[in-house]
């Protein structure tokens, strides 16, 4: 399933096959969120959900691959932006996540990817989360630097 969030926060959903049909055919479950208009900001020094970057899929007893394609920056000198993924509330990249150090207001690549252990068969919620060490962090999410979050069951 693809979700596209525009600048107003509206979401458009599209999928080539209904997820029930995907499961019936034994195909891997998948989900994708693309944000193309409206940068995201946070001042939180604790991990919080990235707005709109949540995928709920129903899997068999298989692992999932997940990732983000994103650029980010912090408006403070020597301040960090952290990115992590939570599967059913369990963080996948330690308690902080992957870190990007940024010179003041300079975009950098903070894309991450990973693979879970085998999940139990059933519904799972996978969320991207982020935080900063101080000041204000921004994830670019516009037509030039879009933000993508994806999840795919591995069979």
The pLDDT tens digits of the residues spanning 19-48 come to 555 555 567 888 889 988 899 999 999 999
Contacts of 24 (CB under 8 A, 6+ apart): none
Percent of the chain with pLDDT over 90: 65
Burial 47-75 (b: 16+ CB within 10 A, else e): beebbbbbbebebeeebbebbbbbbbbbb
Instruction: Indicate which CATH number applies to the domain containing 58.
Output: 2.60.120.760
Contacts of 144 (CB under 8 A, 6+ apart): none
Provide the domain count of the chain: 1
pLDDT in tens, 114-142: 999 999 999 999 999 999 999 999 999 98
Listed in sequence order, the DSSP H helices in the chain are: 19-24
Q: What is the pTM of this model?
A: 0.82
């Amino acid at each position: 399933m693809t979700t596209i969030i525009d600048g107003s926060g509206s979401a458009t959903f599209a999928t080539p096959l209904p997820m029930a049909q995907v499961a019936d055919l034994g195909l891997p479950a998948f989900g994708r969120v693309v944000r193309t208009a409206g940068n995201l900001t946070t001042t939180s020094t604790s991990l919080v959900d990235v707005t709109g970057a949540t995928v709920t899929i129903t899997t068999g007893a298989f692992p999932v691959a997940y990732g983000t394609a994103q650029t980010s920056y912090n408006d403070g000198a020597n301040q960090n932006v952290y990115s992590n993924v939570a599967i059913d509330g369990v963080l996948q990249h330690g308690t902080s996540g992957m870190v990007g150090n940024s010179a003041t207001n300079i975009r950098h690549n903070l894309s991450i990817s990973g693979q879970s252990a085998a999940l139990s068969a059933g519904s799972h919620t996978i969320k991207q989360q982020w935080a900063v060490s101080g000041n204000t962090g921004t994830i670019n999410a516009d037509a030039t630097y879009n933000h993508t979050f994806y999840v795919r069951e591995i069979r």
